Amino acid sequence: MRHGKYPLIVTFLVPPLLLYGIFVISPYLQAFQISTTDWLGYSAEADPVGLANFERLLDDGRVWNALKNNAWLLAVVPVLTIGLGLFFATMLAMGGRKGRAGVTGVRGTSVYRMVYFFPQVLSVVIIALLWREVYHPNSGLLNGALGAVGLPTPTWLGDPRTAFWCVLAVMVWSNVGFYVVLFGAAMSAIPRDIYEAVMLDGASRWTTLRKITIPLLWDTVQVAWIYLAIAALDGFILIQQMTNGGPNFSSDVIGLRMYETAFGSENRFGYASAIGVVLFFLTLSVAVLALRAARRDRIEYS
């Protein structure tokens, strides 16, 4: 019955494989090769320099500065986003008045979800440009409100002490809605009789959340953690459009460093690729670590 399947397999698989090989796999592989050269771009000359680019990376204060900011993103964004996501998803799923033992959702759950999800469908460029105006020292929404009630009006993105944290807040803002919907979908998959049983046993909301909901959601939380960790190593568009790494490199991230090295005022492709390779391994190890950490916790709960 299965004879004659090979023509189909070949016709169906070869075009996507070609496209994927040329535009995805080969660039990834080439990145490793280019990272060991001193290639400056438009000339054909690229001398192999071994690991010199990587040695220079170790002494590059700007790269370390950018990495430090990515480390902050990595430490803060997933925790805040998942925390707020779980909080609001819980409110939506079990904050309701009517119904059995507090398992019911609040009224208008789908409206809340629709609104929360807005930022997720917008281009990151739009989000970045909009928030740049919100933070505007004179005509911004934020300082307009602060000024009206007589509070001090900082310059936000213009101040090296606050610029980075302002962008971080936008990163959290734009992601929370997605995770509310994600966790909400996972919560509605939990059988309701479990909740009814524990509520009848007299468990409080907080206990239910801690002992039932979160352990049962742990797989989803773990996936969220990995995605957010990878996103935290990026942050390129928001930073580039909101602060361009400034003032005075205070909000620089590694992705922007790489972009500026390759396509900015200079074209040091070899060095930029070395940054890319470091980033590749960072992403890989962060994903593996997040998986590991999450897995250990899951065993504790179950």
Partner 1 sequence: MTILDKPASDGTAAGDRSAPEVRKLRRETGGANVFSHGFLVFWGALTVLPLLWMFLSSFKSDAEILADPWGLPGALRFENWARAWTEAHIGQYFLNSAIVVAGSLTLTMLLGATAAYVFARYEFPGRQVFYYLFVGGMMFPVFLALVPLFFVVRNAGLFGTWTGLMLVYAAYSLPFTVFFLTAFFRTLPTAVAEAALMDGCGHFRLFFRVMLPMARPGLISIAIFNFLSHWNQFILPQVLMQGDDSKWVLAQGLAALAVSQGYQGDYSGLFAGLTIATLPVLVVYIAFQRQIQTGLTAGQLK
Complex with partner 1: residue 87 or 249, whichever CB lies closer: 87
CA atoms within 13 A on the CB side of 78: 23
Q: How near is the Cβ of 296 to partner 1 at its closest, in Å?
A: 21
Complex with partner 1: residue 165 or 259, whichever CB lies closer: 259
| Residue 292 burial (10 A CB sphere; 0-12, 13-18, 19+) | exposed
Q: Six-digit token pair at 80?
A: 């805040």
Complex with partner 1: residue 112 or 164, whichever CB lies closer: 112
Complex with partner 1: residue 103 or 166, whichever CB lies closer: 103
**Residue entry with tokens 């953690």:** 225
Q: How near is the Cβ of 266 to partner 1 at its closest, in Å?
A: 13
| Interatomic CA distance for residues 75 and 91, integer angstroms | 25
Q: Six-digit token pair at 214?
A: 């979160």
List Cα–Cα distances, 249 to 166, 230, 256, in angstroms: 14, 22, 10
Q: What element of type H or E holds 260?
A: helix 254-263
| 46, 30 Cβ separation under 8 angstroms | no
| Interatomic CA distance for residues 98 and 107, integer angstroms | 9
Q: What element of type H or E holds 147?
A: helix 141-148
Q: How near is the Cβ of 298 to partner 1 at its closest, in Å?
A: 16
Complex with partner 1: residue 164 or 176, whichever CB lies closer: 176
| 214, 86 Cβ separation under 8 angstroms | yes
Q: How near is the Cβ of 151 to partner 1 at its closest, in Å?
A: 14
Complex with partner 1: residue 41 or 160, whichever CB lies closer: 41
Q: How near is the Cβ of 214 to partner 1 at its closest, in Å?
A: 16
Q: How near is the Cβ of 92 to partner 1 at its closest, in Å?
A: 7
Complex with partner 1: residue 16 or 61, whichever CB lies closer: 16
| Interatomic CA distance for residues 41 and 33, integer angstroms | 14
Complex with partner 1: residue 115 or 293, whichever CB lies closer: 115
Any idea what the Cα angle at residue 73 is, between residues 69 and 78, rounded to 5°? 170
Q: How near is the Cβ of 89 to partner 1 at its closest, in Å?
A: 11
Alpha-carbon 268 to chain mean position: 27
What SS3 class is residue 37? strand
Q: How near is the Cβ of 13 to partner 1 at its closest, in Å?
A: 5
